[in-house]
Structure 1
Amino acid sequence: MALAKRPAVDDATRLSGPEKAAVVMLALGEDHTRLWEALDEEEIREISQIMSGIGTVSSAAVEGLLMEFVSGMSSTGAIMGSFEQTQRLLAAFLPPDKVDSLMDEIRGPAGRTMWDKLANVNEAVLANYLKNEYPQTVAVVLSKIKGEHAARVLSALPEDFALECVQRMLRMEPVQRDILDKIEQTLRTEFMSNLARTSKRDSHEMMAEVFNNFDRQTESRFLNALEERNRDAAERIRALMFVFEDLGKLDPGGIQTLLRAVAKDQLGIALKGASDTLRELFFSNMSERAAKIMREDMNSMGPVRLKDVDQAQQAMVVIAKTLAAKGEIMLAGSSGDDELIY
């Protein structure tokens, strides 16, 4: 799916300082490297980031910034900022590895190395790319990423092809550095760069993550306001959110694992604001003595600020998500696929 085009820039006065600098650099082209050499790394990063995404800048806007070059610009008209143009300009004065690093940062996904970046790629997207590669190449790639991610990618590949990749992984010997470098370069140029242009994170998932980090009052205020304007969006965000009360969906083993990971004082504060049902669920998974001590500690606390309760509950949610990412507990979502059968 192609990304929506950014509206053309027609008024130079609306541009920020760094945006004006990016337009000037694009207008000057590849023959003015001394200007780049006078900038520090942070300035280069900021300007190149803007250059890669600024889109079309009208000739009128360019002339407003470069009146002394009006005659030169009038024949070329508008200029277009792009990944390729930015990379060519940077390559004129920076080492290749520095250019690759900057462009990878601009394009995303986030990560220090190529294998870090692959960890942030959805398994279905990665599998769709790898299914057209040689099984040996896929085996190398899967051996370089985390086991849980590799498992999800294998599950998304055609079964016969996936089994062939598994066999190659079982027989794999140490990969030569030059072959590994070639695979990394191919992933960078053929996959990651295209991914940055064509993929887009679901906006509702992104907002659910944001709402998860609101305190209770702010979350309620925003969701209620959004519900009045766009009920469907509010319902989708609410369904995607994982909140403290969802901990009640954990199985007994999951609750006990979580209890071992949470500080006792934070647990008491969190449970002060929990529903009776959820509170009793946690108590039932403690020893009789531990539950009695926790009840006594909670009674001795007296009134607790809502802000402190929210922070303690949010901390427990973060711990639960961390444990789930490690495979130590299972978080049941809204999908029926996550229901547990006993």
Structure 2
Amino acid sequence: MSDEELTDIEKAAILMISLGEDDAAEVLKYLGPKQVQMIGEAMKELDNIAQSRVEGVVSDFMELVQDQTGIGINNDRYIRAMLNQALGEEKAKTLIDRILMTTNTSGLDTMRWMEPRQIAETIRYEHPQIQSVIIAYLEPDQAANVLSYFDDKVRLDIIMRVSSMDRVQPQALQELNEMLEGQSTSSAGQFRTMGGVKHTSDIMNLIESTIEAELMEGIKEVDEGLANQIQELMFVFDNLIDVDDRAIQVILREVASDVLILALKGADTALQEKIFRNMSKRAAELLRDDLEAKGPVRVSEVEDAQKEILSVARRLADDGEIMLGGGGEAMV
């Protein structure tokens, strides 16, 4: 595989490994949980990387830096246990400790570094309003995974509360943070915009398909108007047909070929052709051959692959690289 076939995440992983612990720590502490997780997972997959490839990645990085006056990194939240999963506990320990020494992560922020099952167990017996605030605070993909560990009735209650949420009073946030971390936080004095119909639709986009269908049916029974609002804002896999070609190309650079093959098994011909058109001729031919050779697959596998691609698209939209609108509108 040539350097051109590496994704940006794979290049970042190679760069982090080549930097060494001290310098990698300084870079990673400016990234958010989702970014660190993606880079960590890519680092885990790297094996026997040729020196020439490392040199190529570093060279590309240096050229990029020289063309800019600064690298636009948002000073967000600090790295946590995801590196344990990426590098193994022993290798990650020094790196994690060094980064976390200066963190001001609040009780709510720590939730974003936890595994979904762990979050679910932590809040399982809390008041539904506390559960809904935490779900609203999480990134949509993480929130979707957490909700999968609750039963139907609890999920519906939480999602209804999230959809009706607008702002959370600072005192409530401060008390919640104190409950989670046992110390006061800097939340007081600021209203926090959380939840709402848009956030709910983002969660519904990423939750497991059978759960999504059950939840939507439950919402319709309670409030049909709300269900319609959520559906209008949801961006589903078929909406990719309306996405700008350049945005499709950006998305494809971040998607593994095996995931794309699975996702396209369940796509209609028009969407498949759109994907083919936005690849090189050789890559499109290989993808067609792989699709034809792929035997029957479970519907759940196809849906999971499509959700993964939607997650990539949403991340790119959040990072400002593409724009995805409700009902499939998109521009770059």
Q: TM-score surpassing 0.5?
A: no
Q: TM-score range by the shorter chain?
A: 0.3 to 0.5
TM-score, structure 1 normalization: 0.41
TM-score, structure 2 normalization: 0.42
